[in-house]
Amino acid sequence: MRELSRLRDRIDEIDGEILSLLKKRVDLAVEIGALKRKKGLPVRDEGREEDVYTRLSEKAKALGIPISDMKSIYREIIGMCTAVQSLQTEETGKKKVAAEIGVRKFGKTTAVAFQGEVGAYSEQAVLLYFGPTASAKPCKSLRAVFEMVEKGESEFGVVPIENSLEGSVNETYDLLMDSSLQVSGEINLRIVHCLIANRETQLNDVKVVYSHPQALAQCRRFLESLNCEVVSTYDTAGSVKMVKERRLVDSAAIASERAAEVYGMKVLKRAIEDSLNNYTRFFVLSRYDASPSGRDKTSIIFSVKHLPGTLFSALQEFAVRSINLTKIESRPTRQNPWEYNFYLDFEGHREEVACKEALEGLRKKSTFVKVLGSYPRAS
């Protein structure tokens, strides 16, 4: 018992040292926050956070610490430091992290709705954007996400809008058309797919793979090499949950590494996607306008008469003012066959003079214009 007490005393000493080091890290975060305010920089720096994870992954590996455990711990640490910087921004009379999320309401514990089960990529986007203190609320469908925010049951919603490999999420565009919600932010999330199974399952045992259709499509080459049956489901993390609950030892699911952590499952193989340039862009939805941050984008929907040159004339409003268009896409109006609405993203905030003039000019040349929102550009 003496030896046990001695070891526990040593652990208590180390815990005290860890807390002292955390205090030093928070103090440095406060200094960094002050510099960011002076330079008008956003609170969150996703690129910096990824650098931290990459650098510490090598260190963790060398020390024999599981990388997933290291990431879980540092999500909390980074979230704590970011929260301190955010509170600083509030106390100095700024618009409450407006430069970061561009909204007028932001609670200490933020309720954020997303589509899918816990461990889904959408939940990962929520935690990346709002930090680990966010209260992520899973929904069965994208429509349910919109409804939760519209009814005030959730402060924000996070929904996928496009994938760099598979293209746009049409359902999200259609819901935006009918909703009064504002787009108040965007997130670019690197998608790393993992093959996940029960702990007793080996790679050569896998006969069936479950996942969302997009995830299956993004891992086509790997699945062909595995020579297995593929089954579409409504969610990536939901597939992991199902494989676990049904105890399917000859099956696996494609989802994020976080999903494996959440459900206590085993990663059979990491990074099985066909392309490393696999990113999903998410919109942050809210009931409030976004304030200018100095690094904004604006998303709109518009339609023009079905006549020669009308689209060209409409887009000229942006060209003559040197406003850069980052995306344009057409979707059926659902009213008349072969007539389309155009979804357009451009650089700048709708309150900026040039953007305001371009939108006024566009309204004169269009039959319909709806501004979905102006918001800070994602890193």
pLDDT in tens, 213-239: 999 999 999 999 998 999 999 899 999
- 14 pLDDT exceeds 70? yes
Q: Do residues 334 and 355 both lie within one domain?
A: yes
Q: Answer whether residue 181 is part of any domain.
A: yes
Question: Mapping DSSP to helix (H, G, I), strand (E, B) and coil, where does residue 272 land?
Answer: coil
In angstroms, how far apart are the furthest CA atoms of the chain?
Answer: 89
The pLDDT score that the predictor gives to residue 105 is: 38
CATH code for position 186: 3.40.190.10
Q: How far is the C-alpha of 214 from the C-alpha of 231, rounded, in Å? A: 12
Q: Do residues 12 and 27 both lie within one domain?
A: yes
CATH code for position 17: 1.20.59.10
Q: What is the pLDDT of residues 265-305, one digit of tens each?
A: 999 999 999 988 899 999 999 998 788 888 899 999 999 99
Contact of 126 with 189, CB cutoff 8 Å: no
Catalytic choice (89, 201, 233, 280): 280
Q: Answer whether residue 291 is part of any domain.
A: no
Burial class (CB in 10 A: 0-12, 13-18, 19+), 26: middle
Decide which of 240, 260, 286 is a domain's last residue. 286
Q: Do residues 33 and 84 both lie within one domain?
A: yes
Taking Cα atoms as reference points, which of 281, 287, 282 lies closest to residue 106? 287
User: Tokens 């494996």 identify what position?
Assistant: 260
Helix (H) or strand (E) holding 253: strand 251-255
Decide which of 218, 252, 286 is a domain's last residue. 286
Q: Do residues 309 and 257 both lie within one domain?
A: no
Q: Do residues 83 and 112 both lie within one domain?
A: no
280 carries an active-site annotation: yes
Bridge partners for 106 per DSSP: none
Q: What is the pLDDT of residues 124-170, one digit of tens each?
A: 999 988 888 889 999 999 999 999 999 999 999 999 999 998 889 99
Q: Do residues 24 and 105 both lie within one domain?
A: no
Decide which of 286, 319, 344 is a domain's last residue. 286
Q: Is pLDDT larger for residue 300 or for residue 26?
A: 300
Q: How far is the C-alpha of 163 from the C-alpha of 172, rounded, in Å? A: 12
Average pLDDT over residues 249-255: 97
* Total domain count, the chain: 4
Q: Do residues 108 and 186 both lie within one domain?
A: yes
Catalytic choice (146, 282, 302, 318): 282
Q: Do residues 204 and 255 both lie within one domain?
A: yes
Q: What range does the domain containing 344 cover?
A: 296-376
Rg of the chain over Cα atoms, rounded to whole angstroms, equals 23
Q: Answer whether residue 366 is part of any domain.
A: yes
Q: Do residues 106 and 59 both lie within one domain?
A: no
Q: Answer whether residue 246 is part of any domain.
A: yes
Q: Do residues 90 and 12 both lie within one domain?
A: yes
282 carries an active-site annotation: yes
Q: Do residues 161 and 199 both lie within one domain?
A: no
The pLDDT score that the predictor gives to residue 109 is: 62
- 201 pLDDT exceeds 90? yes
The pLDDT score that the predictor gives to residue 96 is: 39
CATH code for position 342: 3.30.70.260
Contact of 112 with 136, CB cutoff 8 Å: yes
Q: Answer whether residue 33 is part of any domain.
A: yes
Q: Answer whether residue 19 is part of any domain.
A: yes
- 312 pLDDT exceeds 50? yes
- 51 pLDDT exceeds 90? no
Q: How far is the C-alpha of 115 from the C-alpha of 158, rounded, in Å? A: 8
Average pLDDT of the chain to the nearest whole number:
87
The DSSP annotation for 313-353 comes to: HHHHHHHTTTPPEEEEEEEE-SSSTT-EEEEEEEES-TTSH
